[in-house]
Amino acid sequence: MLSTQSLPLIKATLPLVGERMPEIAKNFYGRMLTAHPDLFDGLFSRSNQKNGSQQQALAGSIAVFATYLVQNPDTTPEAMLSRIAHKHISLSIAPEQYDIVYKYLFEAIAEELSDVITAQIAGAWTEVYWLMAHALIKMEKGLYAGLASDKPLAPWVVVKKEAAGTDAVTFTLEPADDTPVTPALPGQYVSVTATMPDGIRQVRQYSLSAGTATTRVFTTKLDADGEVSPVLHRDVQVGDTLILSVPCGDITLDQGTGPLILASAGIGCTPSASILRSLVDTGSKREVLVLHAESNLERWALRDQMSEDIALLEAAELELWLEIPSEGHHEGFMSLENVTIPTDASVYLCGPLPFMRSLRSQALESGVPADRIHYEIFGPDLWLAGV
């Protein structure tokens, strides 16, 4: 709950802070990572720091949280906080790290707002920060308590590496030690830590595309401009060990019996594949409409797995959109214009942000309630999605 003293100060300064937050975030990361370069090893992404997207993510999260408090001073944005908390669990974030962030963030705020900052304004924004931090710490404590082990990160050995489509690879892993395994839910992701050529560990999140109680399966598309996927594609081989987090993400398959629409684009098909596989494993009779968009048929990374699972389900259908035409499929970008959506359907989206924005808007226009539209956002744009 935002105090009555801080509310008018936050409301008055929010436009200015929002305007300057990108520079505040850049200043903050510069200070913190200069003082703690070790945070690059297994936590912060060097690629996202170089392109500025990590700074945008921080700016977006704080601005969204503060705006929400101004509009709803007695509550907090639970959905946003839940997504951040799951991301933090996948990175093994500890409560004491919030103190480090506070120190350097507010040094940056003091410098970037030196022309207007007062003790009262600083106090109000300090309150916003700790409201957000304490809410996250509480959520994360609950998530940690639900794990099968007190170790959110553990070594897993690669037992299979297979090409998937024209530019993706699927990895199957098994536990490398006796750390208890936390079960994965359909639609969740894991953080994967890989060692770069210079010895620094870098982390990326990948949706699980299949797996059992004792295996993890994820599929990664090659990103030539990234650091992690080239190492995974080029250097990681069967028998190698990777560090994986426990499964995270709160966008998981609901346990109801109503119709499902799984809409994906590109490598966003991975959570759809996981959900389909779980439906097959449980003998589900739910009505399922799988919608997928791809540049061409050969590039569809999980084409065989998803097609086989759709065929095994009693009430599943597929509609495919291809930029390069192929007989029997839609041409161009995905559209819900001629798609019949059952009134009680749950819609799951995964893919690039523009794709999810467009599909969510179309689903809303088709009459699907907002609380039945689920989506997972990866990457540094996490809180700038506006969806």
Active-site residues, by number, are: 98, 140
306, 272 contact by CB (below 8 A): yes
CA 18 – CA 20 distance, rounded (Å) = 5
Q: Which residues lie closer than 8 Å to 170 by C-beta, 6 or more apart?
A: 160, 161, 162, 163, 164, 209, 217, 218, 219, 301, 302
Sort 198 into a burial class: Cβ within 10 Å, 0-12 / 13-18 / 19+: exposed
Whether the CA torsion 242, 145, 375, 48 is positive or negative: it is negative
367-371: Cβ within 8 A, 24+ apart: 367/341, 367/343, 368/341
In angstroms and rounded to an integer, the radius of gyration of the C-alpha atoms of the chain is: 22
269, 300 contact by CB (below 8 A): yes
At 304, the amino acid letter reads D
Tokens of residue 299, six digits: 């590039």
Distances (CA, A) of 144 to 148, 186, 266, 340: 9, 19, 32, 41
Would you give the distance in Å from CA 45 to the centre of its chain?
A: 14
Closest CA to 87 of 378, 357, 374: 378
Would you give the distance in Å from CA 314 to the centre of its chain?
A: 31
